[in-house]
Each structure stands twice: as structure tokens, then as C-alpha cells.
Structure 1
Amino acid sequence: MTLRITLAGSTGWVGKALVAAIAKAEDMTLVAAVARSAAGRDAGEAAGLPALGVTVSATLEEALAVPSDVVIDYTKPEAVKAHTLLALKAGRAVVIGTSGLGADDFAEIESAAAVAGKGVLAAGNFSITATLLKRFALEAARYVPDVEIIDYASAGKSDTPSGTGRELAETLAGVRQQGTAKPVAELGGIPATRGGSVGGPIPVQVHSVRMPSFVLSCEAVFGAPDERLVIRHDAGSSAAPYVAGTLFAARKAVEFTGLKRGLDTLL
């Protein structure tokens, strides 16, 4: 069976790499693409490739007129929730590669996925090595209760924390024990400098750094008396690390119903 893919954000950093990868995949075909800036153009040519015979649509609603199995979304934080709900309503499984969604957003998406009988896979990072960061950090959190996250990205990234940092914090908050740091509510000075509290029941403090020279990096810092453990992932300038994980998720998204968060849930 050939998996029919609708790709939203087809001219973006990861989107262009996905167009090329889907074109080469033997078990997938790109049937529709979305990119407002390239509407009306061939999706292959818009991504710097030979023509694929797929015309780029200006909106996902237009693209969904073409039958498909999975919608992959690499657009913008302000658009991804509406895209996901629209795709589910149209009977598509969804892979979310766009960050910026919160717990309430995911709760709504989970309900919609159940009603639609379709699968949604959302991951803060589709890189295999970033997924290993999460797995190793989860193991460390079972033994070391004091943990904080530092999330690095380029100066132009609009959402904080990154999807990688947010997903990691929410996951760690569900398994960690109470740390020894003074609660933020008891601090003087400028409490905001302690970062944002993410997740529960025991939140994790996340600190976001935004400046030139970073692409995406994330580190979990664990502290114990007289010792410290840092587990860190650094992304390079290429989108290649995210492509294989995204296509893997697209293949799996048609096999389950409901919401799964994190590529590790499929490994």
C-alpha cells in the first residue's frame, strides 16, 4: 500500500527536505502540499527539485480536497492546532512537527482524534538522537530529583520553550521526585529569572536562550551533592535528522487511534 501524504509547510526548512524524501520513498507519494508563498507552483520546483506534478495550495482546506491518508504539519505555532483539527475532521491521520502547543491544546486534539477514529503523533523533535536525550533523561530522573532544562534556539524562533524542551519538561515532571531547590513562590528579587515552570505534578524549570549561532539545542541538567550530570542534544544546520523520524511517524500514524506524544512512544 502506498501512503498518500499531504504536507503543510512544504517550502519550509524541514518541509523542503520532506518533499525530497517523500519523492524518493517507495511506499509514499506526495499528493498535496501547502505553502501560501508558493501557491500555484509545482511542489517539487518550489522545493528546488524537479517537478512532481503536485500543485501547491494556499490553505490546508484546499489541499484536503485531494484524498490522502496522512497530513504532516510543519507550519507555524499559531496555525498547527486548527490544521490538526481540520485534518481530523476530514478523516486524516496527522503528524505534528510544529511546536507551540500546550496541554489544553493537546487535550482538545486527543478528544478530536478519538471522535475521528484517527491517530495523531506529535513530537517536539523527530531526531532519533533527540529522542534518546529524552529516554536517557527519564532514566536519570528516577534517581536524581533535582533537574532543570536549558533550551537554546536561534534569535528568530518565536515560541518558548522549544517543542523539544517543553516535551522533555512535561515528561520529566511526571516521573521526578521533589527537588531541593527553594520553590519559585518563595523567592525574592526577580523570580522570573528562575525560568518557566512546566508540567506536573512536580514542574520542571525551563530556561530558554534565544541568540544567533544556535539552531536547536536542549540540555537536561541534573544536580546531586558534589556532582552533576548534563545530557545534551545539539542540532546542526541541516534538516536531515528530522526527516527519517517524521516519515517513520507517518507510517505509524495510520496504525493507531488517538494522540501519542513523542517519537519514543513509537520506538
Structure 2
Amino acid sequence: MRIMPEGHTIHRLAAQHRELLGGRVIHAESPQGRFAAGAARIDGRVLRETDAHGKHLLLGFDDDTWLHVHLGIYGKYAFGLVPVPAPVGAVRLRLTGPGHYADLRGPNTCELLDPGEKKALHDRLGPDPLRADADPELAWRRIGRSRTSIGVLLMDQSVVAGVGNIYRAEALFRQGVDPARPGRDLTREQWAAIWDDLVFLMAEGVRVGRIDTVRPEHTPQAMGRPPRVDGHGGEVYVYRRFGMPCLLCGTEVRTGVLSGRNLFWCPSCQTS
């Protein structure tokens, strides 16, 4: 099963581009050919800055052009050292600097934006827990008056940017909140706790490069249980643990579909 990268992955990609290619003249090409015109426009430009907002990666060049990438489900990046090898597979965009290159394959979006278009992108996205300029009050204004469930609202990128299925399930579990609870039934204190937990968990995801959500007392070592084996690579409470006992209370973890996405929760621990 493929999983769309969540916000921590995109912020890590922004940091990788900044570290490996930032401040350098970049050669851009589209071996696949689908982004040939766009690559020609940024070829020979300096990668001036990098940015990330939710699941959107933005690379800024010295002519005020921004490369906007949304990986979607199938997109992925690969970095390597020069000299660059012959491209393998459908490489949409290859960026090469003096020492490193970056290959982009299969993105949902790969386009160039001017500063006004970049601002419009930011304006339509909700606050990102990983951004220094994020204002959780903007999300609360919508959540606090919405009849829509908090489980759906957290996945709405115009409400909160960067949260995906894993962080949604795990933050709600850690705060004991029923994912079916309407946003307007949450207290401001509950929302503040959810937001703070997202900030903490997603920052840890940036730091370690995977999603780990269990507290120290619930790790495999602390509980004497086998480690979790799953493609997303981290220890979790409920995500993809349907039918298994809750790590806290032993109740069977449930699953269902909410707005077209799989939902995971513990009916005993998540009652508020």
C-alpha cells in the first residue's frame, strides 16, 4: 500500500535541497521530457532558498521563480553524488549542482510559480505545525464552529496543512479524542493539546526521518513486546493496528472509512 508523504517528509526534503544544492548554480533538465520547458527556465539559476508548507515543497531561484512540487502518492525524490549516472526510469526533473543531484519521479504536481502564485498557494493552506509562522488560532476558527468531525477536519489541508492519516490517528489517540466528534464539540483546551502534540510529533518526524508516536513507557523495550514491522517505519498506537489490542487498555483497535480514508482508533481510550 502506498502512502502519501506527510508534512515532516516535505520539510526534510526542503532541508536536503538547501543543504546539498542551496546557494549554487543549478543545471536543470527533464530526462522524461514532461517538464522540459520548465527545466529550461530554471537551468543555470541559483537555488536561493527552500520552503515547505504542508505537503508542498517550494524551491526558490534567483529570478524569483519558484518550483512547486507536490509528491502525491507516487512521487519520490532520490539524491546522489556527481558525476550523475544515466537517468533510470521516468525522471520528471533532475537538478544538479557542483557536488550533488536530485531526481524527482512521479509527482502529482511539478510546476513553476511566480511570487504572487506562491502567495496564493500559502493563502489556501491551513497552518502547518512545522512552520514558525503557523497560527493555530486560524485552524480553531474553523474547527470550533464546524459540524464536521475532527477526524475529517485534521485531514483537510485548508484547515491544517501537512497532517496525513498517521499523524491524524495518532494525535487523536494520544489526546483521547474520538475522531467522530464534531469540531464544534471540542473545547479550546482540547484543540490546543492536539495542536501542541502535532507540533511535537511532526518535529520529531523531521529529526529522525520516520513517524514514531509512542511515549517512552510504551516502546517495545519498555513493554517487553516485539517491535512494530510496517512500511512507514515507526512505533504507533493505532495506525494500521486494527484488530490488535490497544497498547494501553487491551481493547481491540477499530478501523473504518471516513471521507474515503482509513481511520484507526481505540473505542475505550478515545471517548472525549
Do these two structures clear the TM 0.5 threshold for a shared fold by scoring above it?
no
- Flag the structure with more relative contact order, 1 or 2, with Cα contacts below 8 A and sequence separation at least 6: 1
The TM-score with structure 1 as length reference comes to 0.27
Report the structure number with the largest CA radius of gyration: 2
More helix by share: 1
